[in-house]
Every structure is written in C-alpha cells, then in structure tokens.
Amino acid sequence: MDNSYSIMNAILMRIIYFLILLVSIFSCQTESAEVIPDVGHIDMSDFSFVRYDTEVSNMDSSNIEEAYADLMARYPGLTELYFKRLLNLPSENQDTFYNWIDNFKKEKRIVDLQDKIDQVFGDGKSVKKDLLKAASYFKHYFPDKELPRFYTYLTEYGYQCIIFDDITKDGIGIGLDMFLGDAVSYKDIDPTNPAFSDYIVRTYNQDHISKKAFEIIVTDLMGQNRSKRLLDQMLYNGKKLYILNKILPEVSDTVIMEYATEDWDWVNENEMQIWNFFTEENLLYETNHLKVNKYLNVSPHSPGMPKEAPGRTANFIAWKIIDAFMQRHPDYSLQQLIDYKDNQKILELSRYKPKRR
C-alpha cells in the first residue's frame, strides 16, 4: 500500500512539474515574441523601385542631350536634382553641362564603382525585395500614407539616403556606393572624415539599406524635434526605433539600433546601470547639447560609463521606455504614438523599470 502511494505520489509530482514547465515556457514565449501582422493581402501595386544608377550608366553617349531629356521625361523629380545638386556638375552652359554628364559616366573611377555595385547587388532584386517587404508593413501601420518612390544611385560616396520632392509624391534616393560592405575600404577613402570611422562604416552594407531608407521616411512623418531637453530628444529617437522595429520586424535589433553584436549584448546586460546613470547624473532634463550629444548621436562611447558602453545609450533606453508605454496602451496606433507629444507623461505612464540581470 505504501509502495503504491509512493509511486502515485511520484507520478503526480512529475505531472505537476511538467505543467509548471509548460506554463513557464509559454509565458516566456508570450512575453518575448513579436506579433508580426499578416500583410499578404495588402495591395502593393503603387510600389516603385528604379535602378537609376543603371539608367545613368546606360545613357547613350552618341546623343547625350537626347539621353538626358529622356531621363528628365521619365524621372523628372530626380534627374535635375541628381546631376545639378548631388553631383554638382556645372550647368551654366548647356553644352558644357552635357559634356560634364558624358565625362562623368565615362570616368574610369565611376565605371569601376558602377561595376563594383553591380557585382555586389547584381540586378538589385534583393534590395527591391527588402524594400517591398518593409513597404508592405509600412502600409499596414500607416494605411493613409502614400508610399514614396525608391531610386538607387551613386554619388561617389557623397549621399547615402535622401528624401526629395518627386513631383506627385516623395522620392527616396539610396546611394548603393554607400552600402558596399567589405567590397570597399571606406576608411581609406578619406581617413580624416568621421563618416568613414570604423564604428560607422560597419553599417555600410546591404543589411542596413531598408533601415536607412525607412528611417528617413519615419523621420519625415514625425517632423522635427525642436526641444533641447535630453528626455524629449531620446524619446523622439525611441519612438523612431520602435516604429522601425514594427516596419522591419524580421530585421535584427542590432541593425535597427546600428550596434555591433557585442554592443547590443552589453546594453541589454547593463540596462539598469545605464538608466541609473542618467537619473543619478540628473541628465534627463539636461539641455546642454555638449553634455548629451554622445548619448543620442553616433559615437564610439558614452561618456562617464564603462569603456564597453557604446554611444546612443539614451536611445536604447528610450526604445525600452516606448516599448513599455505601448505594452500598457495596446490599442494605440503608431500614428497616435507619433502624435503623443507629452514625453514626461509617456515616461510616467510607461512605468518603465529596467530588469535586474
């Protein structure tokens, strides 16, 4: 009898343990899993992607004036902007202007750069696919907003991504020469230019194209942040990161944040220490940009923190705050989040409290 009771008790304990394990696993998955909406039904017929760099490369040199007119007829919003402002070709005299265009497209360094772009990106279908996917999520979250047209170009390392007036809607220009990854030694282009520092050029690859392109779109949606207070600036950036994460749900958080893996791991493991630093140093309401700049903008380090701390730690914390706020307001749309301007209230309502590690 005692033996039977012991066996039954052991079986019961195993069942209870198994149920607890299941509940634990399920709750962990529920807490961390990102709900990705189904966008397969969304009409994407208005999506437009143009390999403008190829169009320029293929211009007919035997009649460059006619070739330019053809580009103007098909892409009026970008063509004049591209040649006269992005490339800054002299345009006071028409004949001289056309000669400059022809010389530019024939220049060996430009031909070699275009060849390198073609080697890395091929026909551009992978770039188009990534942009189309992001655009479908954008239309899901912002159904009333019009999609911009997407163009690729090269400016010999001049402009990575731009937004411009494309006649009837916005246009997004993407400089493929600024996303060539290991195919180019960017820091050797101009060692004195901070834009080619190691911690920045590590993002100059195809993985970051959609993020960079849609960051411009989201920034345009949000408008300018005119406040100098750190809390306002960081939550502005936190909203942007949160929205980009929704539009690019399959993209790594390291890409959204533009962190190396070791940087991402460090900020997650030290979230409480980072938050304590900002509160203990009374930085949340600081308005001196010299004191807060590296916590917001691209920088190798965050001053006052351990040497392992990357820059933009305020943005990382802000992303966490916005995420906490939206979890407590699940009915809020992304547009409502953008429109909610009381950042002090957002902080309070988020009840943000970093977890101990």
CB atoms within 10 A of CB 206: 15
Whether residue 231 sits in one domain with residue 211: no
Sign of CA dihedral 142, 315, 264, 310: positive
Q: In this structure, are residues 71 and 79 in contact, taking their beta carbons and an 8 Å threshold? A: yes
Cα atoms found within 13 Å of the Cα of residue 295, Cβ hemisphere only: 28
111 φ, ψ to 5°? Answer: -60, -45
Q: Are strands 161-166 and 169-175 parallel, antiparallel or unpaired?
A: antiparallel
163 φ, ψ to 5°? Answer: -120, 140
Q: Give pLDDT tens digits for 279-335.
A: 999 999 999 999 999 999 999 999 999 999 999 999 999 999 999 999 999 999 999
State mean pLDDT over 200-220. Answer: 97
162 φ, ψ to 5°? Answer: -135, 160
**Any domain includes 31:** no
Whether residue 162 sits in one domain with residue 276: no
**Any domain includes 19:** no
Is the predicted pLDDT of residue 5 greater than 50, yes or no? no
Quote the CA–CA distance of 274 and 280 in Å, as a whole number. 10
State mean pLDDT over 130-152. Answer: 98
**Any domain includes 16:** no
**Any domain includes 301:** yes
Of 220, 252, 271, the one marking the end of a domain is 220
Is the predicted pLDDT of residue 30 greater than 90, yes or no? no
In order of 261, 277, 294, the CA distances from 264 in angstroms are 5, 18, 16
Sign of CA dihedral 345, 349, 354, 356: positive
Whether residue 232 sits in one domain with residue 215: no
Is the predicted pLDDT of residue 182 greater than 80, yes or no? yes
Whether residue 279 sits in one domain with residue 156: no
In order of 28, 64, 340, the CA distances from 325 in angstroms are 20, 56, 11
List, edge to edge, every strand of the sheet that includes 169-175.
49-50, 149-153, 169-175, 161-166
**Any domain includes 150:** yes
DSSP type of residue 251: S
Whether residue 164 sits in one domain with residue 120: yes
**Which is nearest to 231 in space by CA: 99, 352, 63?**
352
**Any domain includes 14:** no
Query: Residue 47: helix, strand or coil by DSSP?
Result: coil
Tell me what the pLDDT averaged over the chain comes to: 92
Of 169, 195, 220, the one marking the end of a domain is 220
Share of the chain above pLDDT 90, in %: 89
Give long-range contacts, CB 8 A cutoff, 24+ apart: 333-339.
333/141, 334/141, 334/142, 334/243, 334/246, 335/141, 335/142, 337/239, 337/242, 337/243, 338/221, 338/222, 338/239, 338/243
For the chain, the distance separating the N- and C-terminal CA atoms, rounded to the nearest angstrom, is: 48
Give long-range contacts, CB 8 A cutoff, 24+ apart: 79-88.
81/164, 82/52, 82/56, 82/153, 82/173, 86/153, 86/155, 86/158, 86/159, 86/162, 86/173, 87/155, 87/158
State mean pLDDT over 65-85. Answer: 98
- Give this prediction's pTM: 0.89
Whether residue 55 sits in one domain with residue 133: yes
Residue 34 tokens read as 């990102």
Whether residue 256 sits in one domain with residue 173: no
- pLDDT of the residue at 355: 79
**Any domain includes 212:** yes
- pLDDT of the residue at 33: 53
Whether residue 338 sits in one domain with residue 261: yes
Whether residue 80 sits in one domain with residue 202: yes
CB atoms within 10 A of CB 25: 10
Domain span holding position 341: 225-350
Is the predicted pLDDT of residue 209 greater than 70, yes or no? yes
| Count: domains in the chain | 2
Supply angle C-alpha 76, 80, 85, rounded to 5: 145
**Any domain includes 42:** no
Whether residue 214 sits in one domain with residue 68: yes
Whether residue 174 sits in one domain with residue 260: no
Residue 351 tokens read as 């009840």
Of 220, 250, 277, the one marking the end of a domain is 220
Whether residue 204 sits in one domain with residue 338: no
Q: Give pLDDT tens digits for 36-51.
A: 999 999 999 999 999 9
